[in-house]
Amino acid sequence: MENLFEATGWVVLFAFCLTFIVSMLALTKVIRLADPRYLRLLFVKMILEVAAAGFFLFYNGTLNFYNYTAPYTGKWKAQIKWTPEFSQTLFNYDHKSQFVPINPRSEGVVYIVKFQGSYTGFSLWETKNGGDTYSKLFVLLERFHFKDPKTIDRWDLSTAIRQKIKEFPYGPFFAYSMEFIQADSNHMEGKMILQDETGKRVEAGSVFLEKGI
């Protein structure tokens, strides 16, 4: 997954450069587009590529003013084991299919850094049931909370991008948090907490992270 992400990152970076050049040539009327509306689409595409390229540079360590040596920073292998009940919402939102939970889970890689005194990060995930991969996601880590200066309590998650691999009904973008029961410099273990549209908090699964894998 990591090699694929790095290869994709360089492709996105190249695509951004190409899109930027074409957009500037069209704006200055050096070249003419068949339909003026294409220029607007080019700008939208360029903005999306700027965001993706920025995340890639962040991951690749190019922005070296981030702190990678503070506690909890670095790369973590992660797994979420979804409860059978919540997996019905996650993989079968309209409840029209005969979905059978078979080790429903999300497997991913988490990257954490410290920037200007605050923690931040992002993660790459694949949602799976049995041997099937249902989707891939790019998820931001936000609002880190600590029990004390050295002990992580929780962080919030915000899905930025998700891509279907297997056809299934998508649910809404829920608000998630990872809340930790045990955490040290090499392992984290806790619960996946969902907050639905009514504000109700539900335990949706268990979380396991291992450092530097």
pLDDT values of the chain reduced to their tens digit, one per residue, 213 residues = 445 444 444 555 555 555 555 555 555 555 565 555 555 555 555 555 555 555 555 555 544 445 667 889 988 999 999 999 999 989 998 888 889 999 999 999 998 988 778 898 888 899 999 999 999 888 889 999 999 878 999 999 988 778 888 888 877 767 899 999 999 989 999 999 998 767 788 899 999 999 976
Domain boundaries, the chain: 2-59, 74-211
CATH T-level fold of 74-211: Lipocalin (2.40.128)
Mean pLDDT rounded to a whole number for the chain: 78
Cβ partners under 8 Å of residue 124, min gap 6: 1, 2, 5, 108, 109, 136, 137, 138, 139
pLDDT digit string, tens, across residues 7-56: 444 555 555 555 555 555 555 555 565 555 555 555 555 555 555 555 55
